[in-house]
Amino acid sequence: MDIMKTKFFADFLNVTEDGVGLGWHERNGGNLSYRLSPDDVDEIRDQLLPKSEWLEIDASVPDLKNEYFLITGSGKFFRNISIQPEENCGIIQVDEAGERYRICWGLLNGARPTSELPTHLLNHEVKKRVSSGRNRVIYHAHTTNIIALTFVLPLDSRVITRYLWEMSTECAVVFPDGVGIVPWMVPGGRSIGVESSKLMEKFDIVIWAHHGTFCAGSTFDEAFGLMHTAEKSAEILIKVFSTQRKIQQTITPQDFRDLAEHFHVVLPEEFLYDRD
């Protein structure tokens, strides 16, 4: 099967196109990776041929040894990925030690995987473990309204989670674990990847202050849906703040407890504090 005709590839492109449509991928902003399943690999094995030397990941991910990832290229514009996939994304394989990778398809003309490769792979390693192998997608987008909130709200998971939950009834059901927050850090390296992956132990959504958002999911729909839901909620909050009017009513902690019971989700009490 031609790689570009597989379902996972179509789903990958769908996310890049929809993210562009929502304004989250200015220039080369954002990146996306998918951990191939054994069936995916079997389907395209004849096209996975080493195209580069082994290159340093700048992170250690032993639990991802020998795994293949479809991933966007560094400096590549999301709006071009579906037009010229082989130039703008590619498939890499992690080595036996989890220290290096090589390009096996795509990333033509000397392209390299996203500069956020350490964060993607460290997040994949955590999520693979905590989801018993189900999680396959890590998605980073420059979500306008979430970024805006990181200038005006305290960088506190309890505060930001609660605000996002309150802005839209579905939020607490869609991301009952809440959101994690990484304070501003230099992007594109190991350190921010380590901090992000610590939060991925607990959260499926991790916000990078003044930068963007990472979401994890077992499918492209799940990861994209998380991004979309949290960003929509942030947009509502920005609109509410923009009115400069006092909030007259909202979803209360008891409302959330009722919601949790009805939808059979667990909402940690740490987010259901009384606000005055």
- Which parts of this chain interact with ligand 13P (CB under 6 A)? 28-31, 72, 74-75, 114-116, 140, 187-188
Query: Token pair 């799940």 is at which residue?
Result: 222
For residues 31 and 70, the answer to whether their CB atoms sit within 8 Å is no
User: Which residues have a Cβ under 8 Å from the Cβ of 120 and sit 6 or more positions away?
Assistant: 31, 33, 69, 71, 113, 114, 138, 140, 193
Give least dist CB 274 to ligand 13P, A: 37
Q: What track of x and - describes contact with Zn ion for positions 72 through 91 (by CB under 5 A)?
A: --------------------
For residues 147 and 210, the answer to whether their CB atoms sit within 8 Å is yes
**Active-site option among 116, 125, 166, 231:** 116
Is there a catalytic annotation at residue 53?
A: no
Instruction: Read off the tokens for 203.
Output: 């959260």
Chain residue whose CB lies nearest Zn ion: 212
Instruction: Read off the tokens for 200.
Output: 């991925």
Residue 253 binds: one of Zn ion, ligand 13P, none (C-beta under 5 to 8 A by kind) = none
Residue 75 binds: one of Zn ion, ligand 13P, none (C-beta under 5 to 8 A by kind) = ligand 13P
Q: Name the one range near Zn ion by CB under 5 A: 151-159, 164-172, 190-198, 209-217.
A: 209-217
Give least dist CB 212 to ligand 13P, A: 6
Residue 195 binds: one of Zn ion, ligand 13P, none (C-beta under 5 to 8 A by kind) = none
Nearest to 154 by CA among 193, 185, 181, 186: 181
Give least dist CB 104 to Zn ion, A: 25
Residue 127 binds: one of ligand 13P, Zn ion, none (C-beta under 5 to 8 A by kind) = none
Segments of the chain assigned E as strands: 31-35, 55-56, 68-72, 89-94, 100-106, 137-141, 179-182, 205-208, 212-217
Binding site for Zn ion (CB under 5 A): 212
Residues that are catalytic: 116
